[in-house]
Structure 1
């Protein structure tokens, strides 16, 4: 059946369909990340960004096309996570700018909106790289403009644009050698094609779409260290939502605390989210049923699956200093995860720590809330992760405070920047000094591979221990200590004299000290410092200065 017009309800359905399909295929998108490290989360970040967009449009009744597009743009803007999520939000922003005054649209309107989306996303990235989601978006947009001149059926139009996008996506390995070597297409580009495909399926009836898409937007905090199940005291990770008017969260938290540990109870607007590790999930659910209706129930047998889920931090932030203190000349916000690393940042007078990092990229809204909380004439954000910089930049643009994003890409860079900072100097001089200091610190990290791959002619098998520095895998093996040693041997030179070892939550004190002794023997002219970081996923983070 031919359809030449898209109205607001159809566009709303398209966004919901795109979000649903991406949610179901996010792991497929995640698997396309080139590096086989456990923080490859393009699909997860894009899915969470889509959920934020859909949450914003879910309350619209009989909306115009413009109202839907603007709501989706606003929702994705605040909920954007990771570089892929921020770029997706910028695509929606450009899309909305083109359609904001439209009641209904045809293929020509849609083509112009695609072009506006592509141009806006390109402008948002300082150094656009071809062979990425940007290229796929541009390919779709350019073709859409040509096609709209001869095709007025919305359904046929979208199908052909998507097919063109797939062609461009399949060429991304020819544009980025690292993709070709890994044998994958660009993950962000794939995610975009999934969104468009889900949108088309929804509006053509290939998939039944319920417009009250669950508005739950969680952080991607499930991290699965490999551990012995005997260490698990409470065997069932239990999560659910309660629809209720009950608002005494403290009382519920206190009561449920007796059922287990890793308890989280947060809520608002008639919803309470509960996360608890327990041996009696049935008792927890029975108590919750006394309060209201349950949905999104998820129970994982952690002993059976040999995993432990780190407690979710949905809206709670780690605040370090009293937020009611007098205005400071300088205030610092940093992103960090791990008890030990947080302690280090606290000692360096950071004002606000946003929980996050690998697999836990905070959203633009998370960062914006942190900006709102701190009291500083000049607010400096240290993302400490290359995948958080764009979200920090986006939060900066949305704030009316004087905010500076110092784009640290690793924890050691963040620590070095803070040590270098002198509160007696002006902001520009400090930023210059910090930039200079960061060039003299090198970071090494040791983790494990989550899949088989081949990079730089090196075969890597799932669960291999891998050592990385500056975006390169430099060591592969079966022993954490041996891989760590090889990594350090490859990155150390005469420029450095200090090695700081931050050991993670899977390394015990004795093992860390034993390894440090070995480093003292191997690098006898270096000072060796050992610090408990408590970070997940990465056994060791090394700072070389």
Structure 2
């Protein structure tokens, strides 16, 4: 039967099925990431953002078109993770604008909403790049407008839009050199097509069922319910280090033990977060898969009571200071370093675990300060930080730090006696004076700048560019440092990760010291996962 109109009930089904489609195919999207390092994968970030949108839609009481669209926009806005998630939230925001005042949607109405989605997303990105999700979104909107003039059958209309979008996606390697070098299409564009396929499947009555994960919290000390009874009392977090870990099987094994579950990573390293009443049983199941590190169990009921007590007595002690600071990082050593530098809030996140807009907004809310500096310390978190800034009534200054060394340098440049602009200028200058090196491993076979890279190779990167590829951590690390240390270099700081012994890090420092006698070298335990070393050269 031909469907000519979409009502609120069907729109709700479309968004829920879009979530199912993306959730079922997020690993496919993840596999298209160009850069072969362990990072905040596009598919995972888009799926988590879409899950937040779907959960908000699921809670809508009145089945009105604009209420459903607005709920999806709000949910994706707060749940946005990574650059792809932020762009997706802007697409939903534009889509919602096109649905305002509509009781039913025709193909012309859907086309207008899709066109608005693309226009809004383009405006949100400072320097739009063609060959990305933005290109696919624009082509979807333009093709939809064209098709709507002659097609009123919603099923055929969406089917033809998707066919066109897939054709555009196949051309993205011709638009973006890095895609062609890696032999892949754009990951974000692929994710968007899975969302469109979800829309089509709902209209064509070909829905599948995938459970919506509970809202995920990744902020340190977060996860406490603000109202009502806490059903699962222990916030349990740890990392599993093993081989050939089946993430989906593990999620199924622990899913019934609690809520607010997050299980992300790859076959060798998995980050686990869950609220449960049986942390011991969760840990036992993790031990069956490998070694456990960074174990943390918090009694949320106890924390909740303390928070209530502190809230009741806040009027006695609360003061609003002039400046506050938020930093994003992973690893106990790096966390302690930022705390020692008087950073107020540490958001546990970074590679493979990008915090959401809501995570950052909650950290902002917890700081009693007039002006708050945010240090994302990851290029994939800057957009979410800026989105959180727009949602806050406080004066938020996002310092666009892309690495931990940049973040530390920026914090060290802070002067409480100076004004906001003076501090911004000093921090920006500090960022530009730091070279960042990172040593990690490749998660996939690929080509990068004509270099053939195999899965498991050790990668040495300087400021985001792969400079060295090899098979031994120590050798790649030393060669990378030789590339980084120039004649005018004065200081090298080595932060060693959780997989590196302190003696081994010191041996590397000693070897560098023999070659560069005028360079001051400091070695610190960073405890960061995924990266064997992080280097800072000034």
Check whether the contact 2:40–2:380 (CA below 8 A) recurs between aligned residues.
no
What is the DSSP-based 3-state SS (H/G/I as helix, E as strand, rest coil) of the residue aligned with 1:329? strand
Q: Structure 1 stretch 331-340 or stretch 513-522: which is displaced more?
A: 513-522
Using the size of structure 1 for normalisation, the TM-score is: 0.85
Which of 255, 270, 280 is the matching residue for 1:240?
255
Deviation at 1:495, TM superposition (A): 3.1
Q: Tell me: CA distance 1:539–1:279, structure 2 relative to 1, closer, same or farther (3 Å).
A: closer
Report the counterpart of residue 482 of structure 1 in structure 2: 475
Displacement, 1:436?
Answer: 1.2
Q: Which residue of 1 aligns with 2:216?
A: 218
Question: What is the aligned partner in structure 2 of residue 232 from structure 1?
Answer: none
Displacement of 1:377 in angstroms is: 1.2
Residues 309 and 130 of structure 1, relative CA distance in 2, 3 Å threshold: farther
Unaligned 5+ runs, structure 1: 230-234, 245-261, 267-271, 281-298
Over residues 17-61 of structure 1, what are the superposed CA-to-partner deviations in whole Å (9 max), with x where a residue is unaligned? 111111111111111111111115100000000000000011235
Shift of 1:217: 3.0
Aligned to 2:232: none
> What residue in structure 2 maps to residue 403 of structure 1?
396
The answer to whether residue 451 in structure 2 is matched with residue 458 in structure 1 is yes
Name 1:203's counterpart in structure 2.
203
Shift of 1:241: 4.3
Q: 1:273 to 1:121 in 2, by over 3 A?
A: farther
The alpha-carbon deviation at position 205 of structure 1 amounts to 1.8
The alignment yields a C-alpha RMSD, in angstroms, of: 2.8
5 Å-filtered alignment, 1:358-373, equals: 358-373=351-366
Contact residue 239 and residue 295 of structure 2 kept, 8 A: no
State the 1:494 CA deviation. 2.1
CA distance in 1, matches of 2:82, 2:256: 26
Check whether the contact 1:348–1:418 (CA below 8 A) recurs between aligned residues: yes
Determine which of 514, 523, 526 is the counterpart of 1:530: 523
Q: 1:448 aligns with which of 434, 441, 449?
A: 441
Question: Hey, what does 2:340 align to over in structure 1?
Answer: 347
Counting only pairs closer than 5 Å after superposition, residues 264-303 of structure 1 correspond to structure 2 as 266=275, 276=280, 302-303=287-288
Distance apart, 1:265 and its partner CA: 6.3
Deviations 1:401-421 (A, max 9, x none): 111111100000000001111
Give yes or no for contact 1:331–1:380 (8 Å, CA) kept in 2: yes
Q: Which residue of 1 aligns with 2:103?
A: 103
Q: How far, CA to CA, are the matches of 1:479 and 1:169 in structure 2?
A: 37
Contact 2:322 2:371 in 1 (8 A): yes
- Counterpart for residue 191 of structure 1: 191
The one-character-per-residue Cα deviations of 1:91-116 (angstroms, maximum 9, x if unpaired) are: 00000011132121100000000011
Judged with a 3 Å threshold, the aligned counterparts in structure 2 of structure 1 residues 314 and 95 are, in CA distance, closer, same or farther, namely farther
Q: 1:228 to 1:404 in 2, by over 3 A?
A: same
Distance of 2:33 and 2:340 partners within structure 1:
35
Q: Which residue of 1 aligns with 2:428?
A: 435
- Paired position in structure 1 for 2:233: none
Distance 2:354 2:277 in 1: 20
Residue 496 in structure 1 maps to residue 489 in structure 2: yes
**Match of residue 132 from structure 2:** 132
